[in-house]
A and B are shown apart, each in its own frame.
Chain A
């Protein structure tokens, strides 16, 4: 059976990292990476950020790296189904493809508004094609409406303003970033968006959306009308589970895996945005994360376990977001925190530490210009991993080095 090799479905951040990790770990058999998208695998974070390289697609690794590492990368190939008993995949087009062990790294798909999915002026953002379609509406004299004050919506709002477009952002919740970001930081960010000229409507629902040939009309519950050149819908993403579902694997807010990232079939693993997993540092709570570093770490760990390592996934969740010249970083999960301690690094940079029962550090969120909060967030992450109970007075005092508290 060993000539069948390792097969990875989904050539995103997770799948690519897993493929290279198999080689770095010394695996000599066949490694095949099957991806539905027609491109060489690319980074998604730049798609929503107005960086210097806005127009260029950033490859995860160079094209020739695949050949050099002996990884067979097949773009434009959709896997239709899995036959677990014969250890074979059925590819779109009819080909059967055998596997010894399989990694599902199928990612997630943005949620769309019912009935508006195929309108030409209504967009979601996940792929290069989406980003290109949105960017066409981002110049001077254009007006772009964004539905959803989550990370992607906010980054797009910032990008729109930086490229000269008028931006209106609609959030049904009372404030932006209701999930995952503490109020104090969300409000600071909200102020910045308003100062940059973004028109914010929070705590209001949308009555109707009419996407015509030359504009989109959005009617809000208070009767006001927004007319924009395009609407971007950023209301979250759903894990891509159809393949796993068809194969009879357990689904629970994503493809359910155990702490080794194995599904209920011990020859099939899942990692990245598509899976939910138990996190030992938070008492085994089952979570699904959509974050770049999680994709990398899970891809690497799944690869090791495909080769028989039995490593346990127990990383502290971490992500960042860039808006204007500001970076937000969050380490850990703040849910269940009973006490919040603020450390002010400068007038433009602050960190909130979230402490739970017994004073245990559960999470830290930081907001600041450039990378001003990065180092302290990284140190906080190490404390979270150790289940540390740092003294709140020391956390709030910027003259006490966090490194000395490790």
Chain B
């Protein structure tokens, strides 16, 4: 059974930005889009073991800080070389101003 894990207050993430969230030995990246929606993916790039929370969010795209590999953080889709493996995404909800992720 997957449960909802509390991440942070919604204002802890700037608009069009990303933060790191660690939970039980796993690491995630939590995003706030320019449209004010919240999203979650695995924390590390699928190219090398580099955390995406140091990367740049532009619209729907997270760009990896190491070699600029790009993913759509809403779908997890890898957008081309050097990254070819998609990112795993996780459901996110906002409840009373708090952000929750279902890590399953």
**B-binding residues in A (CB < 8 A):** 17, 20, 24, 52, 61, 292-293, 296, 300, 320, 370-372, 374-375, 378-379, 403
A371 contacts which chain B residues (CB < 8 A)? Answer: 50-51, 54-55, 65-66
Q: Once the chains bind, are B68 and A378 in contact (CB under 8 Å)?
A: yes
The docked-state distance in angstroms from the alpha carbon of A33 to that of B86 is 27
The docked-state distance in angstroms from the alpha carbon of A70 to that of B68 is 27
A378 contacts which chain B residues (CB < 8 A)? Answer: 56, 63, 65, 68
The docked-state distance in angstroms from the alpha carbon of A403 to that of B68 is 17
Q: Does B98 contact A (CB under 8 A)?
A: no
Q: Once the chains bind, are A20 and B65 in contact (CB under 8 Å)?
A: no
Q: Once the chains bind, are B66 and A375 in contact (CB under 8 Å)?
A: no
Interface size class of chain B, counting residues whose CB lies under 8 Å from the partner chain: 10 to 19
Q: Once the chains bind, are A374 and B81 in contact (CB under 8 Å)?
A: no
B82 contact from A296, A372, A379, Cβ within 8 A:
A296
Q: Once the chains bind, are A375 and B67 in contact (CB under 8 Å)?
A: no
The docked-state distance in angstroms from the alpha carbon of A296 to that of B68 is 11
Of all chain A residues, the one with the shortest Cβ separation from B63 is: A378
Q: Once the chains bind, are A374 and B82 in contact (CB under 8 Å)?
A: no
Q: Once the chains bind, are A293 and B68 in contact (CB under 8 Å)?
A: yes
Of all chain A residues, the one with the shortest Cβ separation from B65 is: A374
Q: Does B3 contact A (CB under 8 A)?
A: no
Interface residues of B in 18-38 (CB under 8 A from A): none
Please name 21 pairs of A and B residues whose Cβ atoms are closer than 8 Å in the assembled complex, sorted by A.
Answer: A17-B81, A52-B49, A61-B84, A292-B67, A293-B67, A296-B81, A296-B82, A300-B81, A370-B54, A371-B50, A371-B51, A371-B54, A371-B65, A374-B55, A374-B56, A374-B65, A375-B56, A375-B65, A378-B63, A378-B65, A378-B68
Residue with the highest number of chain B CB atoms closer than 10 Å, among A61, A378, A379: A378
The docked-state distance in angstroms from the alpha carbon of A378 to that of B65 is 8
B66 contact from A17, A52, A374, A403, Cβ within 8 A:
A374
The docked-state distance in angstroms from the alpha carbon of A25 to that of B82 is 16
The docked-state distance in angstroms from the alpha carbon of A378 to that of B58 is 11
In terms of DSSP, what is the predominant structure of the interface of chain A?
helix
Q: Which 8 pairs from chain A and chain B are nearest by CB?
A: A374-B65, A371-B54, A371-B65, A378-B56, A375-B56, A374-B54, A17-B81, A375-B54
The docked-state distance in angstroms from the alpha carbon of A123 to that of B79 is 39
The docked-state distance in angstroms from the alpha carbon of A370 to that of B66 is 9
The docked-state distance in angstroms from the alpha carbon of A369 to that of B54 is 12
A403 to nearest B CB, angstroms? 8
B63 contacts which chain A residues (CB < 8 A)? Answer: 378
Interface residues of B in 38-65 (CB under 8 A from A): 49-51, 54-56, 63, 65
Residue with the highest number of chain B CB atoms closer than 10 Å, among A293, A320, A375: A375
Of all chain A residues, the one with the shortest Cβ separation from B66 is: A371
A52 contacts which chain B residues (CB < 8 A)? Answer: 49
Interface residues of B in 56-93 (CB under 8 A from A): 56, 63, 65-68, 80-82, 84
A293 contacts which chain B residues (CB < 8 A)? Answer: 67-68
Of all chain B residues, the one with the shortest Cβ separation from A52 is: B49
With A296-B81, A296-B82 already in contact, 5 other A-B pairs whose C-beta atoms are closer than 8 Å? A20-B81, A371-B55, A374-B56, A378-B65, A403-B16
The docked-state distance in angstroms from the alpha carbon of A292 to that of B48 is 15
A234 to nearest B CB, angstroms? 22
The docked-state distance in angstroms from the alpha carbon of A280 to that of B81 is 25
A57 to nearest B CB, angstroms? 14
The docked-state distance in angstroms from the alpha carbon of A378 to that of B16 is 15
A403 contacts which chain B residues (CB < 8 A)? Answer: 16
Q: Once the chains bind, are A320 and B81 in contact (CB under 8 Å)?
A: no
Q: Once the chains bind, are A320 and B66 in contact (CB under 8 Å)?
A: yes
A26 to nearest B CB, angstroms? 15
B49 contacts which chain A residues (CB < 8 A)? Answer: 52
B68 contacts which chain A residues (CB < 8 A)? Answer: 293, 378
A379 contacts which chain B residues (CB < 8 A)? Answer: 56
The docked-state distance in angstroms from the alpha carbon of A292 to that of B47 is 15
Q: Once the chains bind, are B54 and A372 in contact (CB under 8 Å)?
A: yes
The docked-state distance in angstroms from the alpha carbon of A293 to that of B68 is 9
Of all chain B residues, the one with the shortest Cβ separation from A406 is: B58
Of all chain B residues, the one with the shortest Cβ separation from A299 is: B81
A17 contacts which chain B residues (CB < 8 A)? Answer: 81
B92 to nearest A CB, angstroms? 22
